[in-house]
């Protein structure tokens, strides 16, 4: 295994007009690592994730994928120039994205949805695309839905199709933006279970999530963002069990409070803690016992 990060952000910044929404993000993701991004709404998590595959063009710093600069090339005078779409596609090819709102095409069958990126982005035949798409559907337990249309599937099944579509391109890194936050609480677990099994297979993942208990158990590294910056980053045992910054303590407090409350909440919002059921010492224990970090 190479010691080079598979994905690396160096002082990445992004502005929308005069508003600087990412303010110098540094992040190393090693092959096989699970990195979760947490933080309040509007802190820049989605933007950071989208800059990692140039769905958003970052405008400061550098993003490196497997040792290649993403999005730009340097000319002789150390100025950088936007790369061609073709080169960008080539550099980002190992990286696949799973979206919060699934983004399936309603007029296409499940199989066609999963095969589409293969047909569009790689020069492989229809038969081969179909074979790979079916294998990806099998991986998420939905090969029997291949001929169904997305509207006939539950939200959980639709997101599993979203994951299959990402898997079909045989990515080396998966980016997941709140993959369960559009789901009713009872459908969250089937999606988390698929993500867990990908993690067990060694897939490298960067995931934005509000499922704190899941993040604590699955992550090698947790990154807490606020106002476009990384406030605290480290192994889950530190972030959840031995929090260093007051701001993260404050952010996590509602989660700990809910976990301690005698009546478990199951409100279907993005901060849903229905799967938590842990008090702080238990949380610390679980991340110590099951955290995948060294
Ligand atoms: P998060 O995912 O943490 O909720 P986002 O990355 O979506 O945060 O947003 C970070 C900030 O950038 C927010 O203030 C948001 O309003 C702003 N923002 C996001 N996308 C755009 C856009 N396309 N145009 C202008 N502002 C945007
Ligand atoms: Mg977001």
Looking at ligand 1, which atom is closest to the CA of residue 16?
Answer: 25
Higher pLDDT, 258 or 24: 24
Task: State the chain's maximal CA–CA distance in angstroms.
Answer: 64
The one-character DSSP state at 154 is: -
Best mutation site among 15, 39, 46 for ligand 1 pocket (most ligand atoms within 8 Å of CB):
46
Report the candidate in 44, 48, 59, 79 with the shortest Cα–Cα distance to residue 71.
Answer: 59
Looking at ligand 1, which atom is closest to the CA of residue 47?
Answer: 6
Q: Percentage of residues in the chain with pLDDT exceeding 90?
A: 78
Region 117-128: mean pLDDT is 82
pLDDT value of position 119: 86
| Boundaries of every domain in the chain | 7-94+172-290
211 is written with which tokens? 């499922």
**CATH number given to 7-94+172-290:** 3.40.50.300
3 to 114, 209, 238: CA distances (angstroms) = 33, 27, 23
C-beta of residue 158 within 8 angstroms of C-beta of residue 113? no
For the cut 80, the answer to whether the pLDDT of residue 133 exceeds it is: yes
Confidence of residue 7 (pLDDT cuts 50, 70, 90): very high
Q: For 212-228, how does the pLDDT look when each residue is reduced to its tens digit (9 = 90+)?
A: 999 999 999 999 999 99
For the cut 70, the answer to whether the pLDDT of residue 285 exceeds it is: no
- Ligand 1 pocket, 228 CB below 6 A? no
Pick the residue whose CA is nearest to atom 10 on ligand 1: 44
Q: For 171-192, how does the pLDDT look when each residue is reduced to its tens digit (9 = 90+)?
A: 999 999 999 999 999 999 999 9
Region 70-99: mean pLDDT is 91
- Ligand 1 pocket, 47 CB below 6 A? yes
Distance CA 201, CA 204 (A): 9
Cα of 137 from ligand 1 centre, angstroms:
32
Cα of 48 from ligand 2 centre, angstroms:
9
Confidence of residue 1 (pLDDT cuts 50, 70, 90): low
- Ligand 1 pocket, 43 CB below 6 A? yes
For the cut 90, the answer to whether the pLDDT of residue 142 exceeds it is: yes
**What does pTM read for this prediction?**
0.88
- Ligand 1 pocket, 16 CB below 6 A? yes
Higher pLDDT, 55 or 262: 55
- Ligand 1 pocket, 210 CB below 6 A? no
Q: Which ligand is nearest to the CA of 226?
A: 1
Residue that has been written with the tokens 């080539």 in this structure: 90
- Ligand 1 pocket, 75 CB below 6 A? no
Looking at ligand 1, which atom is closest to the CA of residue 50?
Answer: 6
Pick the residue whose CA is nearest to atom 26 on ligand 1: 16
């Amino acid at each position: 295994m190479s010691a080079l990060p598979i994905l690396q952000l160096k002082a990445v910044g992004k502005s929308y007009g005069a508003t600087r929404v990412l303010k110098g993000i540094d992040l190393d993701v090693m092959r096989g690592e699970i990195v979760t991004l947490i933080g309040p709404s509007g802190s820049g998590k989605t933007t950071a994730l989208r800059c990692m595959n140039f769905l958003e063009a970052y405008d400061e710093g550098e993003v490196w994928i497997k040792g290649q600069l993403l999005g730009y090339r340097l000319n002789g005078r150390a100025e950088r120039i936007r790369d061609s779409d073709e080169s960008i596609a080539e550099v980002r090819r190992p990286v696949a994205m799973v979206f919060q709102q699934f983004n399936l095409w309603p007029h296409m069958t499940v199989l066609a949805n999963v095969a589409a990126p293969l047909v569009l982005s790689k020069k492989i035949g229809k038969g081969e695309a179909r074979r790979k798409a079916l294998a990806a559907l099998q991986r998420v337990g939905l090969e029997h839905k291949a001929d169904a249309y997305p509207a006939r599937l539950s939200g959980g099944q639709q997101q599993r199709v979203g994951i299959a579509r990402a898997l079909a391109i045989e990515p080396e890194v998966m980016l997941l933006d709140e993959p369960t936050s559009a789901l009713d609480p009872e459908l969250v677990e089937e999606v988390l279970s698929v993500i867990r099994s990908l993690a067990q297979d060694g897939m490298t993942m960067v995931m934005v999530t509000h499922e704190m208990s899941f993040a604590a158990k699955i992550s090698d590294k947790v990154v807490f963002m606020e106002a476009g910056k990384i406030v605290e980053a480290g192994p889950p045992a530190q972030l959840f069990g031995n929090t260093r910054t007051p701001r993260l303590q404050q952010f996590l407090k509602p989660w700990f409070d809910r976990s301690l409350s005698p009546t478990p909440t199951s409100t279907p919002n993005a901060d849903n803690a229905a799967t938590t059921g842990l008090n702080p010492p238990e949380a610390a224990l679980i991340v110590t016992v099951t955290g995948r970090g060294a």
